[in-house]
Amino acid sequence: MTAQTIHRTTPRAAAGGGRRKPLRWGQLASQVFLICACVLWLLPIAFALYVALRPYSETQKYGYVSMPHHLTLKNFSDAWSQSDMLHYFWNSVLITVPSVLIVLALAAGLAFVLTRVNIKINVALLILFTAGNLLPQQVIITPLYRLFLQIHIPTFLGNSGLLYNSILGLIVINVSFQLGFCTFVLSNYMKSIPDEMYEAALVDGAGLWTRFRKLTLPLCRPALAALATLLTTWIYNDFFWAITLMSSGDKRPVTSALANLQGQFVSNQNLIAAAAMIVAIPTLVVYVLLQKQFIAGLALGSSKG
Amino acid sequence: MTDQELNPAAAAAPRAPRRRRVGRLSGRDKAVVAVLLGLPIVLDLAFIWGPALATVGLSFTKWNGVGGLSTKICQPNVPSILNNGCLYGVQNYHQAATIYPEFWPAVRHNLIWLAVFVFFATPLGMFFAVLIDRGIKGSRMYQSILFLPVMLSLALVGIIWEFMYSQNYGLINTVIGHNHNGNAIDWLGNPKLNLWSVLIEASWRQAGYVMVLYLAGLKAVDPQLREAALMDGTNAWQTFWKVVFPVMRPINIVVMVVTVIESLRAFDLVYITNKGINGLELLSVLVTSNIVGETQRVGFGSALGVILLVISLVPICAFLYLTFRRETQPKGAR
């Protein structure tokens, strides 16, 4: 840096003990700040959990912000049984699991071709897919809604007979929308695989498909795991597609069905809190178990610029 | 495969130019390429770009969604039922900007949203990341807690925060003693307050997201750079702004794009709070309410969608330009 700054700091550095003290104060200040932030960050979740754990009669009498007389899990079991929540969870599973698998399969193949086959328009295609993922969902919803009303599907795939209001429809849009991000991340990842490995495979007579299946996919396993974690939470948490592309509440995934439940339980806030906590559980479990993968996925998406 | 077959190929490998060799594909390889490219392209064009272009087209029509579209130009002074599906030119845009009462508030709210994300949530997230990255005690726990909201769906965030904000039983009002019918503060109902209340919820989530992006960025910074800067006698503040921050340029771009896109996409929180009315209007809400609600104004809603599209294309293009610039240049040009 500049000579000026050296002049200013050298005497302090020479003082030795004098330098260490402010550092410790800085550490203390950081700790205090982070603890305060964490309390603020946990407070809304903790308070909702507290409301969920208290009996309705007690909160009616003393208010929500009061000391507990006794805590109960009854709100959780009531919310679960009174709202047919298992059914909505099953909807979420039916949408999320196939979507994640299909996105990863399609994006891996696409990214492989775009990075490893020398076609002229590969950068253009990558731009097309990446940009598609960045569009706000509302930009495409009007025609998409119309399109979903036009596309007929066999009734065993959805009893409405249309892509609109069917689980398949939500899978289709989630897959199409998330393809861009996954392709972008995977192609960045695949670019880091050394050319020499492909040359060796080619020498061994491996065709394009073998180079994809036997070489690229195993090497991409960490990236695929990270993306699977991210996609699972994103698709599970989706709200917009489910409320615009599904007319009836009973086919919606659990996150958007919660809005209906909120109306149903309107007089009993304790039940709403319990239902909200139940809906949050799957993503929290994913987070606790797969925190590393989750964060790796976000980091992969941002590691290139 | 025998050794004899292999050897000539191995011998030829170093001499053949890499590009041409990869470009030469067998018939089977071509089929593989066609399949791997085909399905994603069809999906992307049919369900993302097709609709995006169709939105642009529909925005020049007047259509209530029933019956077909025509190529006739809309007649003035004719009952709108007869005009349905006609070409309306830029009238939808004109109406949006002049006589649609929710339009300018929505634009203003979107801008406020962006400003809060840029000047509050992003610096806060970055600050968290810098503190945690210094490896102080308990940093992993801090990181986990601050990131927790990002795992929750925005709809869920809205519901959870209602327990904080509720007029009579909410935590905030009870603690500050404003929970009686006479003096209760209606955080989510008062149109002067609710945008800010919702923005606190949104920032609560966004800051954790930004934090993780910056944590990834900070880990990638060469520690020698920092050491060198400290040796030169800079303090932590100067080291960060003059050395570390510029090195994190790729992350800064990603965070910038995420911030702008997320503030344009904002929808779930306001929709779950009060369906995006009474002080919480956003462009995204207006698009949705015009096309999915009972009174469908498809043409008008599409025009609002195009406005949203044009605004979002600015950060999208900037991101793509900065990301792909290097790839289109021949190697070694930089």
Question: What span, in angstroms and rounded, lies between the C-alpha atoms of B231 and A228?
Answer: 43
CA of B79, closest CA in chain A: separation in Å?
Answer: 24
Q: Is B227 exposed, middle or buried (0-12, 13-18, 19+ CB in 10 A)?
A: exposed
**B169 and A37 in contact by Cβ < 8 A?**
no
Write out B63-88 in H/E/C secondary structure.
Answer: CCCCCCCCCCECCCCCCHHHHCCEEC
Note whether A283 and A301 are within 8 A (CB): no
Please check whether residue A143 touches B, CB under 8 A: yes
Mutate which of A85, A122, A134 to disrupt the B interface (most B C-beta within 10 Å)?
A134
Residues of A in contact with B37 (CB under 8 A): 110, 113, 125
Would you tell me which residues 215-274 of chain A have a C-beta closer than 8 angstroms to some C-beta of chain B?
233, 236-240, 243-244, 255-256, 258-259, 262, 269, 272-273
8 Å CB contact of B233 and A1: yes
Per residue in B107-130, pLDDT (tens digit) is 999 999 999 999 999 999 999 999
Residues of chain A with pLDDT under 70: 1-23, 302-305
Stretch B95-100: mean pLDDT, rounded?
87
CA B38 to chain centre: 27
Could you say which residues from 66 to 105 on chain A have a Cβ atom under 8 Å away from some Cβ of chain B?
none
Give me B265's structure tokens: 């996409």
Contact (CB<8Å) B254/A305: yes
Q: Which of A47, A65, A233 sits opposite B151 (nearest CB)?
A: A233
Residue of A23, A92, A139, A239 best to disrupt the B interface, most CBs of B under 10 A? A139
Positive or negative: CA dihedral B190, B193, B199, B201: negative
- pLDDT digits 0-9 by tens, B292-308: 766 678 888 899 999 99
Place of tokens 């071509």: B30
Distance CA B247, CA A156 (A): 55
Asked whether the beta carbons of A132 and A125 are under 8 A apart, the reply is no
- Element at B62 (helix H, strand E): strand B61-62
Predicted pLDDT of residue B293: 64
Chain A residue with the nearest C-alpha to that of B309:
A139
- What are the tokens at B40? 């994603």
Q: Are A80 and A276 in contact (CB under 8 A)?
A: no
Helices (H), A54-84: 56-62, 74-82
pLDDT (mean) for B71-86: 73
Query: Nearest 5 degrees, angle CA A159-CA A161-CA A167?
Result: 60
**pTM of the entire structure?**
0.85
User: b/e for B102-112, b at 16 or more Cβ within 10 A?
Assistant: bbebbbebbee
Residue B237 pLDDT > 50, yes or no?
yes
Closest among B54, B74, B46, B80 to B297, alpha carbons compared: B80
Closest Cα of chain A to B173: distance in Å? 10
The predicted pLDDT at position B242 comes to 85
**What is the DSSP code string of B214-280?**
HHHHHHHS-HHHHHHHHHTT--HHHIIIIIIHHHTHHHHHHHHHHHHHHHHH--HHHHHHHTT-TT-
Residue whose tokens read 């207006």:
B286
- The residue with tokens 């020499």 is A196
ipTM for the complex shown: 0.83
Other beta carbons within 10 angstroms of residue A136's beta carbon come to: 23
pLDDT in tens, A103-157: 999 999 999 999 988 888 888 899 999 899 889 999 999 889 888 888 888 877 7
| pLDDT computed for residue B1 by the predictor | 38
> Coil, strand, or helix at residue A21?
helix
B268–A6 CB contact, under 8 Å: no
Residues of B in contact with A299 (CB under 8 A): 212-213, 215-216, 219
CA count, 13 A, side-chain hemisphere, B18: 9
pLDDT for the residue numbered B3: 41
Q: What's the pLDDT at B18? A: 46
Question: Which tens digit of pLDDT belongs to each residue from B181-231?
Answer: 778 888 888 888 899 999 999 999 999 999 998 988 888 888 888 888 888
- Per residue in B9-49, pLDDT tens? 444 444 444 444 445 678 888 888 888 999 999 999 999 99
| B166 has a pLDDT exceeding 90 | no
What Å distances lie between residue A42 and A36, A47, A179, A273, CA to CA? 10, 8, 33, 15
Cβ-Cβ contacts under 8 Å, B232 against chain A? 1, 5-6
Question: Are B160 and A44 an interchain contact pair (Cβ–Cβ within 8 Å)?
Answer: yes
DSSP secondary structure code for residue A152 in this structure: B
Q: Are A299 and B216 in contact (CB under 8 A)?
A: yes
What was the pLDDT predicted at A1?
40
